[in-house]
Amino acid sequence: MTLSYEAEGMTMMGHFAAPDGEGTFPAVLVAHGAPGLDSYCRTRPEALAECGFAALAIDYHGNGRVLTDPDELSARLEVLSAEPTHLRNLASAGLDALLARDEVDPDRVGALGYCFGSAVVMELARTGADLKAVVGMHPGLWSPRPQESRRVTGRVLMCIGADDPLVTVQDRTAFEDEMRAAGVDWQINLYGGAKHRFTDPNAADANNPALEYNPRAAERSWESMLGVFNETIR
């Protein structure tokens, strides 16, 4: 179902799903990749609901927009990247919308980010938000305030294609150093032969050789994600 909420003066059009049945469920906040809440990321709440989690795929562009024009997308990402407060406000608003649902157990919440969305959920974690786990799929690993990772309270798992040209070995090393310095319980999984956006069956539609669906890596990373969520919020 579409779930609308407000953030930074905009109406956000997220997508929510929950398991059948009464009572409350562990919950996952999902942050889409750079272009927006596209057809693939809109399927993630239902997939998580089938695994026993309530889930909200947030919208951080507004009005459910999917940005297909490269210049428009670049300008939007530049705004978001320039000041982490924007990302934190957008993610916090989505978290509030998730926690407001009657189906959600507020003491059992994790987060899942895809591509740029991984940076979004990590910035939320850096506010000290009560996230028991944060998982990133083919993530952006940058942070303008890496020292604030000391506020991360939950486990962190990053699932990265070993052949991802957009996430270098240097990026991974810097992230590892950041996590160690902050005392975070962290893990990085590398998937041989996998490039960026390896979880998305529609990756080839972007006509970018850096983006490639890898069904084996997609399945393995999903199972790794479930393992972390089952251990922390189940």
- Per-residue pLDDT for 83 more than 90? no
- Are 59 and 37 in contact, with CB atoms under 8 Å apart? yes
Q: pTM score, two decimals? A: 0.95
Residues 188-212 have pLDDT tens digits of: 999 999 999 999 999 999 889 999 9
Is residue 182 pLDDT above 90, yes or no?
yes
> What are the pLDDT digits (tens) for 16-62?
999 999 899 999 999 999 999 999 999 999 999 999 999 999 999 99
Mean of the per-residue pLDDT values for the chain?
A: 95
Q: In 3D, which of 51, 55, 11 has the Cα closest to residue 31?
A: 55
Q: Can you give the length of the chain in residues?
A: 234
Q: How is residue 174 written in tokens?
A: 């810097």
pLDDT tier for residue 80 given thresholds of 50, 70 and 90: confident
For residues 78 and 116, give the distance between their C-alpha atoms in angstroms, rounded to a whole number: 12
Nearest to 196 by CA among 142, 128, 113, 140: 140
Q: How confident is the model at residue 185 (pLDDT cuts 50, 70, 90)?
A: very high
Report whether pLDDT(84) > 90: no
Alpha-carbon span 65 to 158, nearest angstrom:
26
Over residues 124-162, the pLDDT tens digits come to: 999 999 999 999 999 999 888 889 999 999 999 999 999
The model's confidence at residue 68, banded by pLDDT at 50, 70 and 90, is confident
Q: What pLDDT does residue 206 have?
A: 87
Q: 2-232 maps to which CATH number?
A: 3.40.50.1820
* Residue 214 pLDDT exceeds 90: yes
Q: Which amino acid would we find at residue 228?
A: V
pLDDT at 94 over 90: yes
What does the alpha-carbon distance between residue 119 and residue 65 come to, in Å, rounded to a whole number?
A: 19
Q: What pLDDT does 86 receive? A: 86
- Burial label for 71, CB within 10 Å (0-12, 13-18, 19+), is exposed
* Residue-by-residue DSSP string for the chain: -EEEEEETTEEEEEEEE--SSSS-EEEEEEE--TTBS-TTGGGHHHHHHHTT-EEEEE-SSSTT-B--SHHHHHHHHHHHHH-HHHHHHHHHHHHHHHHTSTTEEEEEEEEEEETHHHHHHHHHHTTT---SEEEEES-----S-GGGGGG--SEEEEEEETT-TTS-HHHHHHHHHHHHHHT--EEEEEETT--BTTT-TTGGGG--TTB---HHHHHHHHHHHHHHHHHHT-
- Residue 211 β-bridge partners: 196
